[in-house]
A = this chain, B = another copy of it.
Amino acid sequence: MKLNRKKSDQNFFSELDPSPRLLMGPGPVDVYPRVLRAMSVPMLGQFDPEFTNYMNEVMELYRQVYRTRNHWTLLVNGTARAGIEACLGSLVAPGDSVLVPRFGRFGHLLTEISGRVGGEVSNIDTEWGGVFPVEQIADEVKRVRPKVLALVHGDTSTTMAQPLAGLAEACRETGTLIFVDATATLGGIPLNVDDWGLDAVASGLQKCMSGPPGSAPVTLSERAAEAISRRKHIEAGIRPEGYRGAEGPPVSSNYFDFGMLMDYWSPRRLNHHTESTSMLYAARECARVVLEEGLEAGFERHAQASRALRAGLTAMGLELFGDPENRIVSVTGVKIPNACGNGEKVRREMLQDFGIEIGTSFGHLAGKIWRIGTMGNVCRMPNILRCLASLEAVLRRNGYSVPPNSGVDAAYLAYAEAAG
């Protein structure tokens, strides 16, 4: 590995000064200005009563966002997949059976995380672009009787959303805990944790919550918390004299051991990591913005934006990807026209010439579809119109002819219809 230490490095690089962007990829997206501002607020000590009070407020705010009464609703200090790993790593002990229905890349991720911590994972699969009928999952739960059913709610890789209502009945029958990865959906579409009987749900801030990546709000049911407490082992160095851990096998991670995270977020405040102050400020402000708008109003804003975007794309002669019944509102898959090859030149021109980021995809969808996000603060008419007008211009320069103004006109119309 060679190291090019040039003389100019002695300036330690220039001031942080990123170009303005409109982030319409699959996340991260533009952050609410109030959330950006919250991150520039000075520190408090981690055991300062003002700070622990903010921690408690965060718990209460995310209960509302998650529509739950779960006491254990807190932040994992890391990106969305840190929250996923903290849940699965704490729920799945070596040898435990886990069922993961896969309809996109992130089902593979849940499979992999569950397997790495020692779970015996089985899968059901469906083609990318579709989801599972709830009955199919319920039947498989009854057949396999897994300890944990791990599911993605919205998989951005395929732009699909898996219905979750109605799974709890089968899972209660078999004693199965339901884990849901709601990274792409929290704040964007209804996620009724209590009504749907979900036991552990993890998400991030950087999609429909319009915050920065790096903090993972998680909620745990009483059932999940009990399962976790059966394998709780307080860390050496801060254990009370004579302490012996619970009977269950310790979690293979210290950082992601929910038993200890719960002690840190309880009145006991037993030190674990040092809570990420600025990210907690951001998480708190994200929830306040989302709740002040109202969850239902926010869902409707997401739905309108994606309807308008899809109307525009379709009017431009582009073909949308995936089962129309189960498309997630927060990201739209568009088949890349033949004229545009693998689509990377179009993406580059959108970014460099128009300041708009749109995404590609993973696995066998890479170079086949673009993914255009309508998440959080981005879901506003000016952004949708700007994206469609820019895409029209770029597509035309790349040899794909578009009826002039067709996308913008169709989006205008969709918004007008929504306004009634």
A169 within 8 A of B: no
Distance between Cα atoms of A1 and B54 in the complex (Å): 19
Query: Do B71 and A1 touch (CB < 8 A)?
Result: yes
Min C-beta distance of A61 to chain B, whole Å = 6
* Per-residue contact bits, chain A 183-197, to B (CB 8 Å; 1 contact, 0 not): 000000000000000
A31 within 8 A of B: yes
Query: Do A116 and B278 touch (CB < 8 A)?
Result: no
Oligomeric state, in copies: 2
A338 within 8 A of B: no
A 151-205 contacts with B by CB, 8 A: 157, 204
Query: Do B30 and A277 touch (CB < 8 A)?
Result: no
Query: Do A278 and B39 touch (CB < 8 A)?
Result: yes
Q: Which residues of B contact A251 (CB under 8 A)?
A: 116
Min C-beta distance of A49 to chain B, whole Å = 8
A 17-68 contacts with B by CB, 8 A: 18-21, 23, 25, 27-31, 36-46, 48, 50-51, 54, 57, 60-61, 63-64
Query: Do A77 and B82 touch (CB < 8 A)?
Result: yes
Query: Do B40 and A274 touch (CB < 8 A)?
Result: no
Residue of B nearest to A284 (CB): B16
Query: Do B71 and A109 touch (CB < 8 A)?
Result: no
Question: Interface stretch among A5-13, A297-305, A402-410?
Answer: A5-13
Categorize the interface residue count of chain A: 35 or more
Min C-beta distance of A19 to chain B, whole Å = 6
Distance between Cα atoms of A273 and B212 in the complex (Å): 13
Q: Which residues of B contact A39 (CB under 8 A)?
A: 36, 39-40, 278
Query: Do B21 and A60 touch (CB < 8 A)?
Result: no
Query: Do B31 and A111 touch (CB < 8 A)?
Result: no
Query: Do B253 and A85 touch (CB < 8 A)?
Result: yes
A–B pairs, 28, beta carbons within 8 Å: A1-B222, A12-B61, A12-B287, A13-B57, A18-B42, A23-B45, A25-B45, A28-B277, A36-B39, A36-B42, A45-B357, A46-B213, A79-B274, A79-B275, A80-B273, A82-B273, A85-B253, A85-B254, A108-B235, A108-B237, A116-B253, A117-B253, A206-B274, A212-B276, A213-B276, A213-B277, A252-B253, A253-B253
- 17 further A-B pairs in the complex, CB-CB below 8 A; given A9-B64, A89-B253: A3-B69, A3-B71, A16-B281, A23-B43, A28-B46, A28-B274, A36-B39, A39-B40, A40-B40, A77-B78, A81-B273, A85-B255, A111-B236, A112-B236, A116-B253, A213-B276, A214-B278
Interface residue ranges, A against B (CB under 8 Å)? 1, 3, 5, 9, 12-13, 16, 18-21, 23, 25, 27-31, 36-46, 48, 50-51, 54, 57, 60-61, 63-64, 69, 71, 77-82, 85, 89, 104-109, 111-113, 116-118, 157, 204, 206, 212-214, 222, 235-238, 250-256, 271-279, 281-282, 284-285, 287-288, 291-292, 351, 357, 362-363
